Chains A and B, each alone.
Chain A
Amino acid sequence: MTMQVTMTVNGEEVSREIEPRLLLVHFLRDEIGLTGTHWGCDTSNCGVCVVLLDGVPAKSCTVLAAMAGGHEIQTVEGMAQGGTLHPVQEGFFQEHGLQCGFCTPAMMLTAQALLEVNPDPSTTEIREAIYGTACRCTGYENIVRAIRWAAEHPALEEVTA
């Protein structure tokens, strides 16, 4: 019992024959090999699986690949343009916004989506935007600073990382 699903991932159309029960996170990781999206729980609590679904952060462990059919998905692998890091990625680098790196893709995508609707968020607004993803390493402070860094450096020209 399989079905065909087609979606756009990081701007490219992908199509696979899948079981309807396949979770989006496993579709991305196991079917198309984009392992930058992680998972960390079974109860939709941890948020390390966040991807952008039509530009909006969503927990990819709580969306069926089938439900994502026809939609646009962006993962961490789609953040850098050409060789240029997204300002959010550069901010995480500059401000030590990551340690083990496991929550980082989710945090960065959430930040990217935040800055698209609110280019100059306060630290409180940042904290309110990211609390759906848990980080065990950083204590959040440097993540907040990283997102502020990105807000202050919106148009980055060069790759430095």
Chain B
Amino acid sequence: MTATDVPTSPVPTSPVPMSAAGNPIGFGRMLRKEDARFLRGKGNYLDDVNLPGMLHGAILRSPYAHARINSIDISAAQAHPKVRAVITGEVLATLNLAWMPTMSYDTQAVLATDKVRFQGQEVAFVVAEDRYSARDALELVEVDYEVLPAVVDATKALDADAPVIRTDKEGKTDNHIYDWETGDSAACDEVFNRPDVVVSKADILYPRSHPSPMETCGSVASMDPVTGKLTCWITSQAPHAHRTVYALVAGLPEHKIQVISPDIGGGFGNKVPVYPGYVCAVVGTIVTGKPVKWMEDRFENLATTGFARDYHMQGEIAATRDGKILALRTHTLADHGAFNATAQPTKFPAGFFSIFTGSYDLEAAYGKVTAVYTNKAPGGVAYACSFRITEAAYFVERMVDILAHDLQMDPAELRMKNLIRPEQFPYQTKTGWEYDSGDYLVTLQATLDAAGYKELRAEQVENRARYEQTGEGTLLGIGLSFFTEGVGAGPRKHMDILGLGMADGCELRIHPTGKAVIRLSVQTQGQGHETTFAQIVAHELGLPPEDVEVVHGDTDQTPFGLGTYGSRSTPVSGAAAAVVSRRVKEKARIVAAAALECSPSDLEWELGRWQVKGDPEKAKTIQEIALLAHSSLELPEGVEGHLDASAVYNPPNLTYPYGAYLCVVDVDPGTGAVKVRRFIATDDCGPRINPMIVEGQIHGGLAEGIGMALMQVIAFDENGNCLGGSFMDYLLPTSLECPSWELEATVTPSPHHPLGCKGVGESATVGSPAAVVNAVMDALAPLGVRHADMPLTPAQVWLAIQGRPARTDLAFT
């Protein structure tokens, strides 16, 4: 059996039976299995890993954004009584490890040799007996820098006189990385040139932000000098991919590398890439013969690891006067920092940004992305963005609202008029995507109804009248967004990372007593895999979910796969889990037939048992079959014993979750302060395996949206100093900025996923920023504001009211 001959969309229609422990045998709200250890403080996060004799590493980082390194003097640090090793780029160069490949076929310095290219870049690695001493020794390393002018403003990176950052690349004379196109430029021109179209234009910045999970990144590397085996505990969302990269970078045999992702304190894409610190820890253990732990501090996390966004999007949208949207185009400037290190499928240098046509039925679309180097930290794809669908969704949803503003049309009405109709699915977009399923109008209506849209607009009329009279008080704003995401990469023929196809393995073992162990290639960072995947097996085999152990995060224990990001766990590994369970079920049928002395075709499946058609008394439960499969029961010729199975799931397409969000804000024009009053979110991610967990994912993403829209930004001053390097400056939303989320759901299964499920991990992060920004712009419309870039801090709102919104990626002037 292959992935293609599995039946589709078995959406449970009636409530599923409950297990003895009170858990649903299948889909439904189930409390999380993993909570038991977290509630007691018994999680095992990276910094909790302590090995005998373990040493501690710390990284010396560049204070400058761009500087030549004249010399590094490590003698004083080496003389520190507790220091065991000081490693520089020069040392690494002798091992051919000074540079490493990035996930975008660029190179990145592990420890700088020639120049530093962003503030915070890795310069030296100190290994000491304890973490305090390692930090002390950093102060003893002397580096002689010659400061160079820095490229900070991406819009000036391609100027003729811009300093060249990547002088390490032979023949490189500018800061250009790539140009990439999508859609049909000529078709777009034709629409835009029609005499009767209305064209709205806007420059929209999605500024640099950072996922900043509460746990920073780190690694413990331990090389066993006797066996030559390297074991690395890493805060990794993709342990298998990391193992392969380590093998390629360090030239170590892959079977001698074990990567373990322990409990992860949040990932959000930040823990996908391979960072120089990880490589340093490996070198550290090789050099010292002891395990070496390296754990980032918060500055290191915010200022040097996988940032997100940094897209400068010039947009034009064309529509008829009565609001039929015809075409959309963009020229986007992508700031990739000093090394092109985005982690995304090879054939998609701008990620899935080409999904920027959003949820609308257009005649034409065209996009061009120009990527440049700047003296900033590398990264680009991180932070729950579904490979840059966040940027795309924000772009189109702002453009649609700006069009509504220019047409003086209600933004809900404009969307209703242009959303793709249910009968158009599967829908081919003008930029090459095939949306699998959707019923968009119903979802938008659900949100409008739940919000009381009409009443809100009526309140707004009164609110505006009062404000006009008194000039005091707050202004009410109502913002909508409708997003469509494509999640669950592959298929492998279109999608790979560093040549590794995006398909994921899964193994299911059924013990003789009917207890099961399922091994996954994906890794949880809080998404609840240990519960959800047990429920998938329960749904397929009728085993109580408490009888299913989920193993993940250890490359020696689990099959190969590309890991958890881009909302791919359920779309890819969830499908693999269903497929592997169905294989077990088919094996069980043969065993049951042998035991019941009938033909397998005489049997029918009833949750948890194979029974004789027409004689349900004659049956074997899955537990009985498990024992029989391991017993001396005679099986038909050619049938092996046991029930174990494995599978690799290669998704035929992405799944396309979507949703309609509405945000209500009160803006104080006197101070610029924004208060989010309500947030209503209707998500359609197909059937929900565990609705409680799905809602939790949405809640978290909505908070992220508030963060990005209102407070989070990594900006830089004119010298390239990072202005968001601590939680004092990089502001995370708290319980007071987040309203009590109001969630609704519609259910439209994916026709190609074995369970009908679509991913949901990033939906809310993708969809929510536009709703918040649209709401604030709506509030400020009476004051003549049409657009201002995120984050809408009080200062930015006030500046927008003054008619001079700021470039939020640069320091305020």
Contact = CB atoms under 8 A, between A and B. Distances in A.
Contacts of A130: 735
Contact of B41 (A39, A103, A105): A105
A43 B41 contact: no
A142 B738 CA distance: 12
Contact of A99 (B44, B47, B528, B741): B528
B214 A134 contact: yes
Contacts of B704: 136
Tell which of B525, B695, B699 has the most Cβ of chain A within 10 Å.
B699
Interface stretch (B189-197, B264-272, B312-320): B264-272
B696 A142 contact: yes
A92 interface: yes
A102 interface: yes
A48 to B, nearest CB: 5
A101 interface: yes
A19 interface: yes
A89 B38 CA distance: 10
Interface string A3-43: 00000000000000001011000100110001111111111
A143 interface: yes
B700 A41 contact: no
Contact of A37 (B41, B42, B263): B41
B525 A80 contact: no
Contact of A104 (B39, B47, B525, B528): B39
A100 B526 CA distance: 4
Interface in B41-57: 41-45, 47-48, 50
Contacts of A150: none
B31 A93 contact: yes
B533 to A, nearest CB: 16
B458 interface: no
A19 B698 CA distance: 45
Given A42-B297, A140-B735, A100 B215 contact: yes
Contacts of A43: 298, 726-728
A36 B42 contact: yes
Given A41-B298, A92-B35, A93-B35, A142 B699 contact: yes
A31 to B, nearest CB: 11
B702 interface: yes
Nearest to B726: A43
A114 interface: no
B469 interface: no
B465 interface: no
A76 interface: yes
B71 interface: no
A135 B214 contact: yes
Nearest to A127: B735
Contact of B696 (A36, A99, A127): A99
A123 B736 contact: no
Interface string B256-282: 000000011111100000000000000
A143 B703 CA distance: 13
Interface residues of B, number: 60
A102 B700 contact: no
A38 B215 contact: yes
A139 interface: yes
B298 A89 contact: no
Interface string B502-531: 000000000000000000000001111000
B185 interface: no
Interface string B736-751: 1010110000000000
Interface in A89-118: 89, 92-94, 96, 98-105, 108
A102 B703 contact: no
Given A41-B298, A96-B692, A134 B699 contact: no
B525 to A, nearest CB: 6
A75 B41 contact: yes
Nearest to A143: B735
Given A43-B728, A99-B527, A105-B41, A139 B214 contact: no
Contacts of A98: 35, 38-39, 526
Interface in B693-721: 693, 695-704
B214 A46 contact: yes
A62 interface: no
Contacts of A42: 297-299, 726
A137 interface: yes
Contacts of A64: none
A82 to B, nearest CB: 13
B212 interface: yes
Interface string A58-96: 000000000000000001110110000100010011101
B160 interface: no
A139 B702 contact: yes
Nearest to B216: A40
Contacts of A40: 214-216, 265, 298, 727
A141 interface: yes
A101 to B, nearest CB: 3
A161 interface: yes
A111 B661 CA distance: 31
B699 A139 contact: yes
A102 B213 contact: yes
B454 interface: no
Given A93-B31, A140-B703, A103 B727 contact: no
9 nearest A-B residue pairs (beta carbon): A36-B41, A100-B526, A101-B38, A102-B265, A139-B699, A99-B526, A76-B41, A139-B703, A45-B727
14 contacts: A30-B50, A35-B45, A38-B45, A38-B265, A48-B214, A79-B40, A80-B40, A96-B692, A101-B43, A102-B266, A105-B41, A131-B735, A140-B735, A161-B39
Given A41-B726, A80-B40, A136-B268, 5 more contacts: A22-B132, A77-B40, A99-B528, A102-B213, A161-B39
